[in-house]
Amino acid sequence: MSIFDTLTKIERDRTQDAYLEYVKGRDGVPDLAARSLKKREAYFAKVEAEAAKYQGDVPTAEFFAGMKSNRELKQMSELGQWMCCVARSNEGESFVIDMALADSDKRSRDLNDPITYVQLEEFYHTRMLLHSLDLLGVSDLRLSEPRGFGRTFLTLLARMPKDVSNVLALLGEVAGVVLFDALRDKGAELLDADDPVTAQILDMLDQLLIDEYGHMAFVRSRLGPVRMELVRKMAPKFIPRMYLDNRPAAALFSLRELTERALAMDLDFPPERIQARVFDAKAVMAPN
Ligand SMILES: [Fe+2]
Ligand SMILES: [Fe+2]
């Protein structure tokens, strides 16, 4: 079943209930003041306790050049491009979430609203990506904020009514699922398989992919037939534009392939190794 198919009202309600149960189980209790999730903190404590650093060669100078100037991206090694991509791929989401949280801090947040979990998960995404780079020897990196068209678009996204923004959010989540899947596989190809740090980095990217797949299924359940039709109309133009804005991704991957995979997104997408851990979007479909 395509992710762009419209769900019935019953399926949408069931998805939302099931997703809330799922994130409660996966994330543990949120601490709203600290902006943390219990199980995620436990995961991080474990990851950070293993203090080993990657032993292989890392193109650090290329990485910094690529972070400074998009023009450098084209002529550098794939590992350099990959690292830039890791550094920049959660920029957009983290920018939107920061803005949304700043706007809503005064209101009390709801522990029975999946959005609460989705937003807090984004902090861990940024943290996992930065920690991956740290393991490769790049520490003290600050994420830069999006610029240009991306920034304008994301600001609009954070501020517009949810009914409208969910259309764009779904497009963003679909694009994200494909990108993080590609990023994980590329990491497995480029990093030394015998180095234990590689397994740690790949596991963090899997965690991210598992989360994003859930976000996608959840956002989809918030859209009725009219807005789903809008999503279908916008996807072929909009998704490649989003990828184009992620310059390291555009240098490392084929935009056409990423876009094709995104447009073909369905509920069978999760690779076997993570299937047991992803949100089961199929289980909540009404039997016909
Ligand atoms: Fe994310
Ligand atoms: Fe997401």
The domain that contains 79 carries what CATH number? 1.10.620
Tokens 């304008």 belong to which residue? Answer: 152
Q: Is residue 280 situated within a structural domain?
A: no
Q: Give residue 224 CA to ligand 1 midpoint distance, Å.
A: 24
Secondary structure string (H, E, C) spanning the chain: CECCCCCCHHHHHHHHHHHHHHHHHHHCCEECCCCEEHHHHHHHHHHHHCCCCCCCCCCHHHHHHHHHCHHHHHHCCHHHHHHHHHHHCCHHHHHHHHHHHHHHCCCCCCCCCHHHHHHHHHHHHHHHHHHHHHHCCCCCCCCCCCCHHHHHHHHHHHHCCHHHHHHHHHHHHHHHHHHHHHHHHHHHHHCCCCCHHHHHHHHHHHHHHHHHHHHHHHHHCCCCHHHHHHHHHHHHHHHHHHHHHCHHHHHHCCHHHHHHHHHCCECCCCCHHHCCCCCCCCCCCCCC
Q: Is residue 3 situated within a structural domain?
A: no
Per-residue model confidence as pLDDT tens digits over 73-109: 999 999 999 999 999 988 888 888 888 777 765 455 7
Burial of 33 (0-12, 13-18, 19+ CB in 10 A): exposed
Q: Is residue 60 situated within a structural domain?
A: yes
pTM for this structure?
0.94
Distances (CA, A) of 110 to 30, 36, 97: 10, 14, 16
Residue 143: pLDDT band by 50, 70, 90 thresholds?
Answer: confident
Q: Is residue 288 situated within a structural domain?
A: no
Q: Give residue 285 CA to ligand 2 midpoint distance, Å.
A: 22
Poorest-pLDDT segment among 35-39, 80-84, 156-160, 170-174:
156-160
Q: Give residue 108 CA to ligand 2 midpoint distance, Å.
A: 22
Report whether 231 contacts 169 (CB < 8 A): no
Mean pLDDT calculated for residue range 199-210: 97
Q: Give residue 94 CA to ligand 1 midpoint distance, Å.
A: 7
Q: Give residue 288 CA to ligand 1 midpoint distance, Å.
A: 34
Q: Is residue 218 situated within a structural domain?
A: yes
The pLDDT assigned to 95 comes to 86
222: containing domain:
9-274
Angle, alpha carbons 218-92-99 (nearest 5°):
85
When comparing pLDDT for 106 and 62, which is higher? 62
Q: Is residue 190 situated within a structural domain?
A: yes
Q: Give residue 215 CA to ligand 2 midpoint distance, Å.
A: 5
Q: Is residue 284 situated within a structural domain?
A: no
Q: Is residue 283 situated within a structural domain?
A: no
Mean pLDDT calculated for residue range 18-38: 94
Q: Give residue 19 CA to ligand 2 midpoint distance, Å.
A: 14
Q: Give residue 175 CA to ligand 1 midpoint distance, Å.
A: 11
The pLDDT assigned to 32 comes to 86
Dist CA 181 CA 9 (whole Å): 30
Number of domains in the chain: 1
